[in-house]
Amino acid sequence: MTTEVVDRRSIGLRSDRGPVLLSLMLTTALVALDSTIIATAVLTIVDDLGGFTAFPWLFSIYLLAQAVSTPIYGKLADLFGRKPVMLWGIGVFCVGSVLCASAWSMPALIAFRAVQGLGAGAVQPMGLTIAGDIYTLAERAKAQAYLASVWGMSAVVGPTLGGLFSEYLSWRWIFWVNVPLCALAAVMLIRNFVEPPRTRNRPRIDYLGATLLSVGAALLILGLLEGGQAWAWGSPVGFGVFAVAAVSLALFVLVESRAKDPVLPLWVLTSRVLVASSLVAVSIGAIVMGLASYVPAFAQGVLGTGALVGGFALAALTVGWPVSAALAGRLYLRLGFRSTALVGGALTLIGTAATTQLGTGSQVWHVAAACFVTGAGLGLAAAPTLIASQTSVDWEQRGVVTATNMFARSLGSAVGVAIFGALANGRLGGAQDPSAAELSSALDPVFLAVTVAAAAVLAAAAFMPGRTTTDGR
């Protein structure tokens, strides 16, 4: 790998590619805001629509639809180009937002959240794929840092807007606000992003493979999300869900091995760099889900803070991430992908290990510091592993590779929900109003499991190649 001299001004918002980067940041904001803005409005929504027992599906169905559609969008982007897939995703997300804002019942809102998730499944991976297309190897980490900074801002802006809308206007505005943002994002992308012409034969769409992948992945993630909640793990329903998922995925592998243009080429599952980066992504998904779900609960239930302070403690995670991601480019150009990811894995392990020492005598800044160090580690682990994957393939495979990484992260989130929920509920023993000491004790195994996931990041990073460049950039 040769070290490239990079003019940092060529990457920022004032550069020639600045308008495209700003467009990608705006599209990222659609997904990032939607992931944070709804949490503070849940009680208001339930008061209006009812269905308290069903409200967790507002999050589960969104994650499910997003995760299942992501690999398919990645393949479509390689077949038809990034721009049409991104615009389709923005359009679907906008339609879903309008439907959510108009929902008349909790079941309707849940169904419309699925539509939003189908749009988000295109938007998030396409932003990273386009960044991989238009920036060189030396520039990609800096570009990813800009996109990651959107998540950091959304962690603060989202809950604040959600609270303001639900208290002073209506909870429906948390969805209506997406409409002008979608329109602006689409217009900016149309005006600023021009894809180079590609010569390719008429695309062959692998409908059977896409169907089997969708069914298998949907049932797998559904089983992980709802196991132990809607049904017992060992119940006939639980067994049936996983059995059908296994059969569907086995048939998917068989079909893909014979397909002329598979929706998910099987070489993705055998390439060393892609397997290692996917394992890192799975672990990162679990870590982020674990901290996002239980750090606010710890801050409020154990330390006695308000919801806003608890949210800010978690926001330290999304502050550390873009800061370190911006530095990742310099590190992997000098040290290589593996060494940079190992540094990130080590920092992640230190940060998550610090959460295992939290207790009733801790201070909020202890929580925030642990989250910041964890976020810094995740930025150094996520950026080089994804970029190494993108760099290892040509343009025609980059959409699939990026989408596979995003799918792996979603799968890790689902696995995290299942494991962490089982650990916390098992320790609480059905207590409806646990004391601070009881809640702290219940969260101990959760934070320990998060630390195990961080160790998995470190282990998977060790299998990354030191240096790899095949795209010539």
pLDDT digits (tens, 9 = 90+) for 151-175: 777 777 777 787 778 777 888 888 9
Which of residues 434 and 180 earns the better pLDDT score? 180
Picking from 451, 310, 322, the residue whose alpha carbon sits closest to that of residue 368 is: 310
Q: According to the model, what pLDDT value does residue 200 have?
A: 62
CB 445 within 8 A of CB 427: yes
The answer for residues whose C-beta is within 8 angstroms of residue 14's C-beta and 6 or more apart is none
Summarize pLDDT for 95-148 with one digit per residue, the tens: 999 999 999 898 899 899 999 999 999 998 898 889 888 888 778 777 878 888
Best mean pLDDT range from 15-29, 34-48, 135-149: 15-29
Q: Is the pLDDT of residue 320 over 90?
A: no
Q: Domain spans of the chain?
A: 11-192, 207-259, 265-473
Q: Is the pLDDT of residue 34 over 90?
A: no
Pairwise CA distance, residues 29 & 33, whole Å? 6
Asked if domains 11-192 and 265-473 share a fold, the reply is yes
Pairwise CA distance, residues 124 & 381, whole Å? 19
CATH number, span 265-473: 1.20.1250.20
Q: Is the pLDDT of residue 2 over 60?
A: no
CB 107 within 8 A of CB 210: no
Task: List the single range of 51-55, 87-91, 265-269, 345-349 with lowest mean pLDDT.
Answer: 51-55
Pairwise CA distance, residues 292 & 315, whole Å? 9
The confidence band for 1, taking pLDDT boundaries of 50, 70 and 90, is very low
Pairwise CA distance, residues 83 & 399, whole Å? 12
Task: List the single range of 102-106, 323-327, 460-464 with lowest mean pLDDT.
Answer: 323-327
If you write DSSP's letter for every residue of 302-350 in order, what string do you get? Answer: TS---HHHHHHHHHHHHHHHHHHHHHHHHHHHHH-HHHHHHHHHHHHHH
Angle between helix axes 18-37 and 106-134 (nearest 10 degrees) is: 150
CB 364 within 8 A of CB 308: no
The confidence band for 4, taking pLDDT boundaries of 50, 70 and 90, is very low
Pairwise CA distance, residues 269 & 131, whole Å? 24
Using DSSP, how many helices (H) and how many strands (E) does the chain show?
16, 0
Percent of the chain with pLDDT over 70: 91
Summarize pLDDT for 365-377 with one digit per residue, the tens: 898 999 999 999 9
Q: According to the model, what pLDDT value does residue 75 have?
A: 87
Buried b (16+ CB within 10 A) or exposed e, 107-134: eebbbbbbbbbbbbbbbbbbbbbbbbbb
- What is the mean pLDDT of the segment spanning 273-280? 91
Q: How would CATH label the architecture of 11-192?
A: Up-down Bundle (1.20)
- What is the mean pLDDT of the segment spanning 198-204? 66
**HEC readout, 152-190:** HHHHHHHHHHHHHHHHHCCCCHHHHCHHHHHHHHHHHHH
